[in-house]
Chain A
């Protein structure tokens, strides 16, 4: 059974710092991995989707990497800003009867201090 873990659960950094969020999964036979952002009391916003054949994806100051063999993905945020403060979740789909379900990590709560 696929399990997704995110470490750390919370992270506080000063503005301008580069940081890495970690996501690990137990079953390396994944189709893709998705990173989301969630602001307090809001829904999830998709940030990056990495296909299983890809090693990384970039969007602006965000870079997500994927290492299937070790069951890990990282989300790198460059030059962090207070507006980056949110919870970041990673998710992987797995095949179930009728289609794909998605397993989410518990998230990393990021605080960027001005």
Chain B
């Protein structure tokens, strides 16, 4: 079974702190993603990475950065946490697979990190 783990389930930080959220997957997936989920807004993509040291901005990258030094690990960094970054953060991974000429791209999600910024 694919396993995606996130470093913390719950996190409370103060405004201005630097925050690191870690995500690790054990299935050698090429793609990794960071989303945030807010009531009424659904899932929104922050950043994604399709290979080691590669990253692409998602829909809401402002205030965030990412790091992918190893294939299995994708880190989300809040350089200076703000109250509007209080949210549920979800990490996902997928294999860039081709099956019978079709893309598979099944995404597997971690359990999420509930971040509160005071």
Contact = CB atoms under 8 A, between A and B. Distances in A.
Interface string B75-112: 00000000000001010100010000011111111111
A63 interface: no
Interface stretch (A11-19, A21-29, A45-53, A72-80): A45-53
Chain A interface size, as a band, is 20 to 34
Contacts of B117: none
Interface stretch (B11-19, B43-51, B66-74): B43-51
Contact of B58 (A34, A53, A89, A101): A101
A10 interface: no
Contacts of B90: 43-44
A102 B42 contact: no
Interface residues of B, number: 30
A34 B41 CA distance: 19
B50 A93 contact: no
B106 A98 contact: no
Given A44-B109, A45-B109, A107-B42, A97 B56 contact: yes
A98 B103 contact: no
17 contacts: A31-B102, A31-B105, A43-B111, A45-B109, A46-B106, A46-B107, A49-B104, A49-B106, A98-B48, A98-B50, A99-B50, A99-B96, A100-B31, A100-B103, A101-B45, A104-B43, A105-B42
Interface of B: 4, 31, 33, 35, 40-43, 45, 48, 50, 54, 56, 58, 88, 90, 92, 96, 102-112, 114
By Cβ-Cβ distance, the 7 closest A-B pairs, closest first, are A44-B109, A106-B42, A99-B50, A104-B43, A43-B109, A43-B111, A98-B56
